[in-house]
Amino acid sequence: MSEQPSSAAPRTPTQPAGEMLRQARERKGLGIEQAAAQLNLRPSLIADLESERYDQLQVPAYRRGYLRAYARLVGIDAAEVLRAHDAIHGKSDTHEALRATPIQAVRRPSRLGKLVFRLVTVIILLVLLGLTALWWQSRDGLPNFAENTPSSDVSSDALDDEPPTPPSAPVAPAASLSGEVIDLDAALAVAGVESGEAIGGNGLQIDVGEGVNGAQLTASEAAALSNQSRSAPTQDEQASATTTGEDVLSLSFREASWVEVRDANNMVVLTGLQPAGSERSVEGAPPLRLVIGNASGVSLSFRGQPVDLPARTGGSNVARFTLGE
């Protein structure tokens, strides 16, 4: 009597898993799109499962899950489908399943690393600030001076130096002689001079005395004498008129420019920002020291002669030179 085995060996599937699924789907009368809609999968994924193309399903767990769900949908044994799959792909799948991904410990940055990072950040910020400051200073090459009011007002000292006009002495009335006598005050009034003002306002005095030929003035003579005394320039006025204009510096500004002019006594003759379209004329004791910013937009002349400003201009469009040496 032959001995029968207690349990039969598992039957090896003769068809691939994909072919089994395709035949079962066709028996149920389902298309690929219908099966994909019921499984919430893409139709291309259903076609890949039936064709044994697992390029898009590299993870074995996902692939087995899709095969089980597809087998239940078409009504065949899921275990048999997985055995058919393992007969072809089981060895590599088992190796991939057992392969563990090593855990990489995340290292916290050290204190030295934090310090170096902060130091590099501070250095970069300082370099950027320095470059910005250099660009700002080299933009026009001018000193950052506050705008000053030009010192063109007349100083009070010059007014104090003028001597006060001495009061004129009262003029005594002339003695009556033969003919018409004209009072001196009346003659001054006719000439346009106030009665209290002396005829010699510029230093000319008239002595009125008694005599046969000179103590009496007619109205026309008094008026002529007053006009002559007013029109005759003094020696000081002639001297000042002679020297005025010899050391005149004239500047014409086509563009806005910062200017500083100092005379031989280091006194500031002109300083400040001059607007475009303006003109200035100053005078001072030579030699004159000049600093002109934005020199390309300025024209000047000294003692009536034009000055070649471009020849005295530096690379930063700032001219520093001396005139009248």
Tell me the fold of 17-98: 434 Repressor (Amino-terminal Domain) (1.10.260)
Cis peptide leading into residue 163 (ω within 30°) = no
Query: With helix as H, strand as E and coil as C, how does 103-134 read?
Result: CCCCCCCCHHHHHHHHHHHHHHHHHHHHHHHH
The tens digit of pLDDT for each residue in 63-101 reads: 888 888 988 998 898 888 888 888 887 655 544 544 545
pLDDT for 164? 54
Which one, of 303, 301, 296, 268, lies nearest residue 140 by Cα?
A: 296
Higher pLDDT, 135 or 158: 135
Write down the residue that tokens 């005829």 correspond to. 199
Q: What is the spatial distance between Cα 54 and Cα 89, in angstroms, rounded to a whole number?
A: 10
Is pLDDT of 170 > 80?
no
- Domain formed by 244-323, architecture: Sandwich (2.60)
Where does the pLDDT of residue 36 fall: very low under 50, low under 70, confident under 90, or very high at 90 and above? confident
Burial class (CB in 10 A: 0-12, 13-18, 19+), 207: exposed
The pLDDT value recorded for residue 140 is 62
Per-residue pLDDT for 108 more than 60?
A: yes
State yes or no: pLDDT of 228 exceeds 60. no
CA 137/CA 125 separation, integer angstroms: 19
Is a pLDDT exceeding 80 seen at residue 285? Answer: yes
Every domain of the chain and the residues it spans? 17-98, 184-232, 244-323
